[in-house]
Amino acid sequence: MRFMMLVIPKGYESAPQDAMPSADAVAKMMKYNEDLARAGVLLSLDGLLPPSAGVRVSYSGGKPKVTDGPFAEAKECVGGYWMIQVKSKEEAIEWAKRAPMADNELIEVRQVHEMEDFPADVQAAAAGFEELQGRK
Amino acid sequence: MESPDISKTIDAVWKIESPKLIAALARMTRDVGLAEDLAQDALVSALEQWPKDGIPRNPGAWLMAIAKRRGIDHFRRNKLVDHKHEQVGYEMQARQEDSAPDFDAALDDDVGDDLLRLIFTACHPVLSTEARVTLTLKLLAGLTTEEIARAFLSAEPTIQQRIVRAKRTLADKKIAYEVPSGSELNVRLGSVLEVIYLIFNEGYSATAGDDWMRPALCEDAQRLGRVLAGLAPNEPEVHGLLALMEIQASRSAARIGPKGEPILLLDQDRRRWNQLLIQRGLTALARAERLRPERGPYTVQAAIAACHARARQADQTDWKRIASLYDELATIMPSPIVELNRSVAYGMAFGPEQGLEVVEPLVGNPSLSEYPYLPGVRADLLFKLKRFDEAKAEFLKAAELTKNASQRALLLQKAADCQRSTN
């Protein structure tokens, strides 16, 4: 089964566009990434620029509206993720516990919906969904 | 402290930590069997203590400390006649004393080499294939004997026996705990790759209604393949096998129909293929080909799988390339099954006449006498050549040989189509 571990770093919601992690934090993170890869569980990973470099597209009355970041109302935001393939939810949690996070940072562990979990009619409606996944 | 999930958490910790633990203990004790026993002792302690005291902050180091202590007790208790054992006992104790504050770093430093030694030992050719598969799942994938039994539809005592016997064989034959070198490396690596691919195929052949432990073997094999690719990054066939498994696994959502019936590659809804796994497979394939332009058998098979993976629709498949890859495979790994597949590729690439030319020499081959795909492939080619009477006879023969009910129905349907085409 696959899980996404979402990193939610405290303060990232209001970080400047050019915010960069320290060399030390990056080194620790690289070590952790390597541990995941060496254990054969890592499928993919990415880090995201802060919301100040992003936009939000909201919808009202069928019309999309674009707002530039940062977003005053946001209390937390995703800073990056790992996609892992493990045997159980507990194993995903164990990996999350090993991440080199600072105080106040958190990781949200979320299971990926597998198509087999859906009833037949939803599967039929979602035909083509897998094709859209994993593209870079 | 006790929560209903703690046993699952301990399982998860075990799955993550046990291969490293056993690998490091095997280096210290020079005995894989003993290493596994010590690791199991540590697991028993964890099962007793963690539900009361909670999971320690560094569970790997905790397990290692307990296992080492048990190891030292073991050597003391046996009051060693044998000097070598005495030496090992001292070494363990010395390490225990020096490295106590930082077990984890000690564990991490050489763990790669230790794991590689453990893989080569578990897959040693002195063991039967079954024993290699079982030991690999137990020692390197962290499966319990119960899980292995469920995955292989066997009884747990059978698996237990197999492990005991395998450990005894390794000890009796004094198998060195090492990574082979020189000319031996290729043979031994071949055995490792074979074991991993066998595990994958066992999972891949699972059918609807099987225990979920069976299809999960595919993920275990992929994981082992990824671990091996990290440990032996310069071995092209390691990446070739990984590429093959990732690409095959990418089709898992498309290869079984809603009623549990198998769907053949060319009939699969390709939109259901997992593109992340395909990308991973193509990356691993490129790496294998970069390391050595002369492809080995796993790399060629991965290259064939990649041709299918790259085709957005079945009719966009590059059959000429697949045919030439099968020529390559037939040279480096000749077998009747490869020939049969080669005939299909030739039929698709150059026309049914050419396909038939490749398949005809296989007729009467005793190793294919019970194999429904031989008459099945001939029937398809003959049908395309409008030789309906012969095609019908072959479809019927294939229908008789197949054990799969829905496949039989399909073949009988095709035989009936031949009849109609004749009239």
User: Within this chain, do residues B138 and B227 fall inside the same structural domain, yes or no?
Assistant: yes
What does the pLDDT average to over B345-358?
A: 97
Strand order in the sheet with A80-85: A42-47, A80-85, A2-8, A106-111
Q: Which of B419, B336, B412 is nearest to B376 (CA)?
A: B412
What does the pLDDT average to over B42-61?
A: 94
Residue A102: per-residue pLDDT: 87
Residue B105: per-residue pLDDT: 47
| Strand-pair partners of A59 | A64
Residue B101: per-residue pLDDT: 35
CB pair distance less than 8 Å for B258 and A43: no
Q: Which of B5, B219, B254 sits opposite A85 (nearest CB)?
A: B219
Q: Which of B69, B51, B64 is nearest to B10 (CA)?
A: B51
Give the confidence band of B35 by pLDDT, cuts at 50, 70, 90.
Answer: very high
3-state per-residue secondary structure call for B103-163:
HHHHHHHCHHHHHHHHHHHHCCCCCCHHHHHHHHHHHCCCCCHHHHHHHCCCCHHHHHHHH
Buried b (16+ CB within 10 A) or exposed e, B85-106: beebbebbbebbeeeeeebeeb
Does B346 fall in a domain? no
Å from B17 to nearest chain A CA? 10
Work out how many domains chain B is built from and give that number.
3
Q: Which of A87, A91, A133 sits opposite B274 (nearest CB)?
A: A133
- State whether residue A121 sits within 8 Å of chain B by CB: no
Low-confidence ranges of chain A (pLDDT < 50): 134-136
Does B120 fall in a domain? yes
Query: Residue B420: is its pLDDT beyond 60?
Result: yes
Q: Which of A40, A127, A134 sits opposite B269 (nearest CB)?
A: A127
Domains of chain A: 2-132 (3.30.70.1060)
Residue B82: per-residue pLDDT: 57
Å from B32 to nearest chain A CA? 20
> CA B272, CA A132: separation in Å to the nearest integer?
9
Tokens (6 digits) for B311: 């085709």
DSSP secondary structure, B20-33, as one string: HHHHHHHHHHS-HH
Higher pLDDT, B407 or B286: B286
pLDDT above 70: percentage of residues in chain B: 91
Count CB pairs under 8 A between chains A and B: 86
User: Within this chain, do residues B64 and B148 fall inside the same structural domain, yes or no?
Assistant: no
Residue A124: per-residue pLDDT: 61
User: Within this chain, do residues B43 and B152 fall inside the same structural domain, yes or no?
Assistant: no
B59-77 helix and B6-29 helix, angle to the nearest 10 degrees? 50
> CA A116, CA B260: separation in Å to the nearest integer?
12
* Residues comprising chain B, all counted: 423
Q: Which of A91, A114, A136 to mutate to test the interface with B (most CBs of B within 10 A)?
A: A91
Higher pLDDT, B263 or A121: B263
Residues of A whose CB is below 8 A from B270 = 131
Residue A114: per-residue pLDDT: 78
Query: Residue B353: is its pLDDT beyond 70?
Result: yes
Question: Could you say which of B260, B276, B311 is where a domain stops?
Answer: B311
B304-328 pLDDT, tens digit each: 999 999 999 999 999 999 999 999 9
Query: Residue B100: is its pLDDT beyond 50?
Result: no
Residue B407: per-residue pLDDT: 81
User: Within this chain, do residues B167 and B246 fall inside the same structural domain, yes or no?
Assistant: no
Does B259 fall in a domain? yes
> CA B282, CA B303: separation in Å to the nearest integer?
9
Does B187 fall in a domain? yes
* Nearest residue on chain B to A128, alpha-carbon basis: B271
Residues of A whose CB is below 8 A from B12 = 86-88, 90-91, 93-94
A31-44 pLDDT, tens digit each: 999 999 999 999 99
- State whether residue A136 sits within 8 Å of chain B by CB: yes
Q: Which of B3, B7, B15 to mutate to test the interface with A (most CBs of A within 10 A)?
A: B15
Q: Which of B162, B151, B333 is nearest to B237 (CA)?
A: B333
Q: Which of A108, A81, A88, A118 is nearest to B276 (CA)?
A: A81
Q: Which of B144, B220, B246, B279 to mutate to test the interface with A (most CBs of A within 10 A)?
A: B279
Tokens (6 digits) for B331: 């040279």
Q: Which of A4, A31, A38, A114 to mutate to test the interface with B (most CBs of B within 10 A)?
A: A38
User: Within this chain, do residues B301 and B257 fall inside the same structural domain, yes or no?
Assistant: yes
Q: Are B221 and B238 within 8 A, CB to CB?
A: no
What does the pLDDT average to over B344-368?
A: 95
Question: Could you say which of B288, B311, B334 is where a domain stops?
Answer: B311
In this structure, of A42-51, A71-80, B68-77, B345-354, the range with the lowest mean pLDDT score is: B68-77
Residues of A whose CB is below 8 A from B9 = 90, 93-94
Q: Which of B8, B216, B276 sits opposite A44 (nearest CB)?
A: B276
CB pair distance less than 8 Å for A95 and B112: no
How many alpha carbons lie under 13 Å from residue B272 in its C-beta half-sphere? 20
Q: Are B227 and A40 within 8 A, CB to CB?
A: yes
Place of tokens 């193509």: B282
- State whether residue A38 sits within 8 Å of chain B by CB: yes
Parallel, antiparallel or unpaired: strands A2-8 and A106-111 = antiparallel
Query: Residue B95: is its pLDDT beyond 60?
Result: no
Residue B165: per-residue pLDDT: 96
Full domain range(s) for residue B257:
236-311
User: Within this chain, do residues B144 and B59 fall inside the same structural domain, yes or no?
Assistant: no
User: Within this chain, do residues B30 and B74 fall inside the same structural domain, yes or no?
Assistant: yes
**Which residues neighbour B127 within 8 Å (Cβ) at sequence distance 6 or greater?**
B135, B166, B169, B170
- State whether residue B51 sits within 8 Å of chain A by CB: no
pLDDT above 90: percentage of residues in chain B: 75
* Nearest residue on chain B to A31, alpha-carbon basis: B108
Residues of A whose CB is below 8 A from B209 = none
Å from B226 to nearest chain A CA? 5
- State whether residue A75 sits within 8 Å of chain B by CB: no
Q: For residue B174, what is the DSSP state?
A: T
Q: For residue B78, what is the DSSP state?
A: T
Give the confidence band of B376 by pLDDT, cuts at 50, 70, 90.
Answer: very high
CB pair distance less than 8 Å for A134 and B258: no
Å from A33 to nearest chain B CA? 13
Q: Which of A88, A116, A136 sits opposite B12 (nearest CB)?
A: A88
Å from B149 to nearest chain A CA? 17
Question: Could you say which of B311, B345, B361 is where a domain stops?
Answer: B311
Q: ∠ CA B172-B174-B179 to the nearest 5 degrees?
A: 140
What does the pLDDT average to over B124-146?
A: 96
Q: Which of B5, B9, B241 to mutate to test the interface with A (most CBs of A within 10 A)?
A: B9
In this structure, of B90-99, B234-243, B293-302, the range with the lowest mean pLDDT score is: B90-99
> CA B415, CA B375: separation in Å to the nearest integer?
12
Does B402 fall in a domain? no
What does the pLDDT average to over B92-106?
A: 48
Query: Residue B81: is its pLDDT beyond 70?
Result: no
Q: For residue B294, what is the DSSP state?
A: S
User: Within this chain, do residues B199 and B246 fall inside the same structural domain, yes or no?
Assistant: no
Phi and psi torsions of A46, nearest 5°: -155, 155
Q: Which of B205, B183, B376, B221 is nearest to B298 (CA)?
A: B221
Place of tokens 């598969």: B133
Residue A103: per-residue pLDDT: 87
What does the pLDDT average to over B63-92?
A: 75
User: Within this chain, do residues B93 and B151 fall inside the same structural domain, yes or no?
Assistant: no
Please name the residues between 106 and 145 in chain B that touch chain A, using a CB distance below 8 Å. Answer: 112
Does B284 fall in a domain? yes
> CA B58, CA B401: separation in Å to the nearest integer?
56
Residues of A whose CB is below 8 A from B231 = 38
Q: How far is CA B309 from the centre of its chain?
A: 20
Does B409 fall in a domain? no
3-state per-residue secondary structure call for chain A:
CEEEEEEECCCHHHCCCCCCCCHHHHHHHHHHHHHHHHCCCEEEEEECCCHHHCEEEEEECCEEEEEECCCCCCCCCCCEEEEEECCCHHHHHHHHHCCCCCCCCEEEEEECCCHHHCCHHHHHHCCCCHHHCCCC
Does B143 fall in a domain? yes
Å from A92 to nearest chain B CA? 8
User: Within this chain, do residues B260 and B182 fall inside the same structural domain, yes or no?
Assistant: no
Query: Residue B404: is its pLDDT beyond 90?
Result: no
